[in-house]
């Protein structure tokens, strides 16, 4: 079992920045791939970013590439999502998720992740 708790969401103006954190407890954090997803009202949950167990490899959705950065600190059992140049279209509930095994083909699929946090709201005003 892995328990995940997100924090850092809030209200920000367009062009602003936020840093989300996801603290993990339970099984060995470094044994899990980590991902960030988001879900806007009335829309399906969509992939934003993922990071390998060591943090050496990252992957981003095209919609956030160049603006968002995923990172992790295995000593602190925490994964981060730095979000810059935020746009109103980034407004959503953001979720972190953990998976024991992922490939490039599967890391964007919510069903591949076995553990989820409760989500944190990010609202970007225009």
DSSP symbols for the chain: -EEEEEE--EEEETT--EEEEEEEEES-GGGSEEEEEEE-TTS--EEEEEE-SSSS-EEE-TTTTTTEEEEEETTTTEEEEEE-S--GGG-EEEEEEEES---TTTTT-GGG--EE---EEEEEE-
In sequence order, the 6+-apart residues with CB closer than 8 A to the CB of 32 are 2, 24, 53, 98, 99, 100, 115
Q: Which pLDDT does position 64 carry in this prediction?
A: 98
The single residue listed with the structure tokens 């279209």 is 89
Is the pLDDT score of 124 beyond 90? Answer: yes
Q: Which pLDDT does position 1 carry in this prediction?
A: 83
pLDDT tens digits for range 11-66: 999 999 999 999 999 779 999 999 999 999 999 999 999 999 999 999 999 999 99
């Amino acid at each position: 079992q892995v328990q995940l708790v997100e924090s850092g969401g809030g209200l920000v103006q367009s062009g602003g920045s936020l840093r989300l954190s996801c603290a993990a407890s339970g099984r060995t954090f470094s044994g899990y791939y980590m991902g960030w997803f988001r879900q806007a009202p009335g829309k399906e949950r969509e992939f934003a970013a993922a990071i390998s167990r060591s943090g050496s490899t990252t992957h981003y959705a095209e919609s956030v590439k160049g603006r968002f950065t995923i990172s992790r600190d295995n000593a602190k059992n925490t994964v981060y999502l730095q979000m810059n140049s935020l746009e109103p279209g980034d407004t959503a509930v953001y979720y972190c998720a953990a998976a024991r095994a992922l490939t490039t083909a599967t890391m964007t699929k919510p069903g591949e992740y076995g553990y989820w946090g409760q989500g944190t709201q990010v609202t970007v005003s225009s």
